[in-house]
């Protein structure tokens, strides 16, 4: 069985919050922290270069509730597949973070209870592998099935759009993100792996 490692980056400007988050993540073997910073610009450059699987973002960097949503929107332009977790103690930050592209937004007070934080992270990012228990694979539309097969053949978004006659790769990206959600995959390699493990695809499929 493949080990699914979340290469994780943290944007957090409060020292004690950062240390608490890192201490929690250190207890999850599947999460590898590859960097952190207090500077949004530096964070953006790091994400462009290292392309982390999971990005944890403080919702109000330096007390400004507009910086983090702007950062998330920028990240989404080149990392549509990465998971983004927003953390905030302010209710008014929740919707802007979600609209910006956060997959999840959690009350930051959870880091004060390490047990609760670990439970949240494990249930959110590492749910029980129900697909590996002989359950039926997710139901896919015809377009989703076609895109999945072409992804498994190693085609890029642009190539898939050309093959299927889509006007742009935006439609392919939307379908691919739906596939990630349905299979609970963290990246393309994980999606292909789960497609085979669920029995949806077989090695001898044409």
- Angle at Cα 131 formed by Cα 126 and Cα 133, nearest 5°? 105
Contact 138, 178 (CB under 8 A): no
CATH code for the domain defined by 6-125: 3.40.50.2300
DSSP string computed for 144-202 = HHHHHHHHHTT--HHHHHHHHT-SSHHHHHHHHHHHHHHHT-SSHHHHHHHHHHTTSS-
**What pLDDT is stored for residue 135 in this prediction?**
44
pLDDT digits (tens, 9 = 90+) for 136-189: 568 889 999 999 999 988 899 999 999 999 998 899 999 998 998 888 777 888
The structural architecture, per CATH, of the domain 130-197 is: Orthogonal Bundle (1.10)
Beta strands in 24-170 (DSSP E): 31-37, 54-58, 83-88, 104-107
Average pLDDT of the chain to the nearest whole number: 87
Residue 205, helix vs strand vs coil: coil
> If we measure between CA atoms, which residue out of 57, 78, 81 comes closest to residue 69?
57
Residue 21, helix vs strand vs coil: helix
* Residue 26 reports pLDDT greater than 90: yes
For residue 78 the two structure tokens come to 């080149």
Q: What is the pTM of this model?
A: 0.63
Distance of alpha carbon 206 from alpha carbon 198, whole angstroms: 17
Distance of CA 97 to the CA centre of its chain: 14
CATH 1.10.10.10 positions along the chain are 130-197
CATH 3.40.50.2300 positions along the chain are 6-125
Contact 75, 47 (CB under 8 A): yes
pLDDT digits (tens, 9 = 90+) for 93-127: 999 999 999 999 999 999 988 888 888 888 788 76
């Amino acid at each position: 069985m493949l080990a699914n490692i979340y290469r994780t980056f943290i944007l957090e400007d409060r020292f004690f919050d950062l240390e608490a988050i890192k201490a929690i993540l250190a207890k999850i073997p599947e999460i590898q922290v590859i960097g952190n910073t207090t500077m949004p610009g530096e964070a953006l450059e790091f994400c462009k270069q290292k392309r982390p699987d999971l990005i944890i973002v403080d919702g109000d960097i330096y007390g400004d509730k507009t910086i983090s949503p702007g950062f998330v929107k920028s990240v989404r332009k080149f990392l549509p597949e990465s998971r983004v977790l927003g953390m905030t103690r302010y209710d008014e930050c929740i919707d802007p973070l979600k609209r910006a592209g956060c997959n999840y937004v959690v009350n930051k007070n959870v880091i004060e209870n390490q047990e609760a934080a670990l439970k949240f992270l494990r249930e959110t990012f590492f749910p029980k592998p129900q697909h590996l228990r002989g359950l039926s694979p997710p139901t896919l539309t015809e377009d989703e099935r076609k895109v999945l097969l072409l992804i498994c053949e190693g085609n890029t978004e642009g190539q898939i759009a050309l093959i299927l006659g889509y006007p742009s790769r935006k439609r392919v990206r939307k379908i691919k993100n739906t596939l990630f959600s349905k299979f609970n995959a963290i990246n393309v390699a994980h999606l292909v792996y789960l497609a085979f493990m669920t029995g949806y695809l077989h090695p001898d499929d044409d």
